[in-house]
Amino acid sequence: MASPESVTIVIPAYNERECIGTVVSGLRAAAAWHEVLVIDDGSTDGTAAAAAAAGARVVTHPYNKGNGASVKSAIRATTSEWLTIVDGDGQHRADDVGRLVARLGDYDLVVGARSPGSQATSARRVGNAVLNGLASYLTEREIPDLTSGLRGARREYLLEFIHLLPNGFSTPTTTTLAFIKAGYNVAFEPIGALPRVGTSKIRLARDGAKFLLILLKVITIFSPLRIFAPVGAAAFMVGAGYGAWNFAYHDRIPNGAVLLLMFAVIVMLVGLVSEQVASLRFEGRR
């Protein structure tokens, strides 16, 4: 179990003046953390001043870079063994943060898994369920909440993957997938999310596609055959079936069937080469 003194609470914040003071005060009262660090991502509403007044250390970006860029700034700016990332919009309870931190040490990454009913809209619940299902298939492990912003992790391991983290809102997705595929110990702690203060910066149509692309990108880096193998197998079955049907009824094999079979072979070969490259990335890991 990680002691609170070894944990830095990180709060990425962009225009969250309405609630950032309450969030910081509540977390500071919950335990004797190493520090509470607010990354002010170019806010224009006085977020930095409100956070500092509540007792947080503040690192300010000169302009808005994105949630992921804020997390990367926090990883570089602190020296504690553990980081726990908390949203600055008032969604996370201090007692949930405490329960999550209590599991650090046994686990290298602990993610706060929100109950479906606590997520904002039905459209977002459906979108998250689709992403969770796809991520579970790609990682071969059940992932109840891929995009939760509440998570605690070993700073050393976050540094290992910092080059993979996007500057936008897909950092939770990337860290979850990277830790699982790298073989680190990952746990999901059930939490409830409160209604956020203010307006969400995430847009389902725009950011949902980004989440999906990030998911596919990270799995392609770590375990590419989970993507290439099903595509190749599907192309092979369609090509073989199309060719067999035409041969049986028309006594010929059409060019389309041949192209599908060639495509299947090429995809499988690329997948195998990619899998070997992915394995080499981890050769000599500590």
Q: Which residue has the higher pLDDT, 283 or 101?
A: 101
pLDDT in the model for residue 284? 46
Mean pLDDT throughout 124-136? 79
Query: Whose structure tokens read 């999901």?
Result: 188
Residue 190: half-sphere exposure toward Cβ, Cα within 13 Å: 3
Residue 127: its pLDDT value, please?
A: 73
Query: Tell me: the pLDDT tens digits for 26-45?
Result: 999 999 999 999 999 999 99
**Rounded-to-integer distance, Cα 85 and Cα 71, Å:** 8
pTM for this predicted structure: 0.79
CATH number of 4-221: 3.90.550.10
What does the alpha-carbon distance between residue 143 and residue 188 come to, in Å, rounded to a whole number? 8
In this predicted structure, the answer to whether residue 49 has a pLDDT above a threshold of 90 is yes
> Distances in Å between the alpha carbon of 49 and those of 16, 36, 59, 64?
11, 14, 11, 16
In angstroms, the CA 10 to CA 38 distance is 6
Q: What would the two tokens of residue 140 be?
A: 């071969």
What is the domain partition of the chain in residue ranges?
4-221, 225-281
The label of the residue with tokens 């992790």 reads 153
> Confidence band (pLDDT; 50, 70, 90) for 202?
low
What pLDDT band is residue 51 in, cutting at 50, 70 and 90? very high
CB 72 within 8 A of CB 166: no
Chain mean pLDDT for the chain: 87
- 106-111 mean pLDDT: 96
| Rounded (10°) angle between helices 67-77 and 171-181 | 60
Nearest to 223 by CA among 161, 278, 270: 278
Write the CA distances from 80 to 31, 35, 101, 232, 271, integer angstroms. 15, 9, 13, 45, 39
